[in-house]
């Protein structure tokens, strides 16, 4: 395991599970935590080798991240710089490694997921419940904490490999 993965494991566990994190989470804006979670997911998911020059994090819908997205763009994943893109439902979504579907698009989740079906895209839905409808990761607020569900079957179908460490932190694994 790489040192970065060990650090990420500790941070992710702390941010999601430890009681002390609840006090910290109360002071940190929700989407700052969610942006950190998106970045930390990159340490626990393996994508097939891609041809993109950058690691693309795409946001569909009303972008809740604002300036926080700029912090993501200063990081790298497997030596590739992260590019945060605002996207519409189109064939360009297939070039995303992570596709964040904002809560504003909860009613359109089906067509959005269909646009990347069978592609190695980690879909992250910002609404409680849609994991059963096809998103790989579903985020939910539980008090001051961010919980998540994982649809492991959808991840495998997309050609993604999710670490057992991440699966253990999930609220529910389908």
Of 3, 6, 5, 14, nearest to 169 by C-alpha is 14
Q: In Å, what is the CA distance from 17 to each residue of 13, 80, 125, 131, 162?
A: 5, 29, 20, 20, 19
101-156 pLDDT, tens per residue? Answer: 999 998 889 999 999 999 999 999 998 765 567 899 999 988 888 999 999 999 99
Mean pLDDT of 29-50: 94
- Quote the pTM value: 0.83
DSSP 8-class letter at 96: -
Q: Which domain holds residue 72?
A: 3-173
46 pLDDT tier (thresholds 50, 70, 90)? very high
How many domains in the chain?
1
Question: In the chain, which ranges are continuous DSSP H helix?
Answer: 3-17, 19-27, 30-41, 68-72, 109-115, 152-157, 164-169
Of 60, 66, 56, nearest to 108 by C-alpha is 60
Q: What is the CATH number of the domain that holds 31?
A: 3.40.50.2300
Q: Tokens 């990420």, residue?
A: 8
**Residue 13 φ/ψ, nearest 5 degrees:** -60, -45
């Amino acid at each position: 395991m790489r040192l970065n993965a060990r650090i990420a494991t500790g941070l992710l566990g702390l941010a999601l599970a430890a009681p002390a994190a609840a006090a910290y989470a109360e002071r940190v804006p929700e989407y700052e935590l969610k942006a950190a979670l998106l970045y930390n997911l990159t340490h626990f998911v393996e994508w097939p080798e891609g041809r993109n020059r950058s690691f693309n994090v795409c946001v569909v819908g009303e972008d809740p991240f604002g300036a926080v997205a700029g912090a993501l763009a200063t990081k790298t994943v497997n030596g590739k710089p992260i590019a945060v893109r605002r996207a519409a439902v189109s064939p360009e979504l297939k070039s995303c490694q992570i596709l964040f579907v904002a809560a504003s698009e909860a009613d359109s989740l089906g067509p959005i997921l269909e646009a990347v079906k069978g592609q190695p895209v980690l879909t992250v839905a910002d609404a409680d419940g849609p994991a059963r409808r096809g998103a790989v990761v579903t985020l939910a607020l539980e008090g001051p904490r961010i919980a998540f569900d994982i649809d492991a079957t959808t991840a495998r179908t997309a050609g993604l490999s999710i670490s057992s460490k991440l699966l253990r932190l999930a609220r529910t694994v389908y």
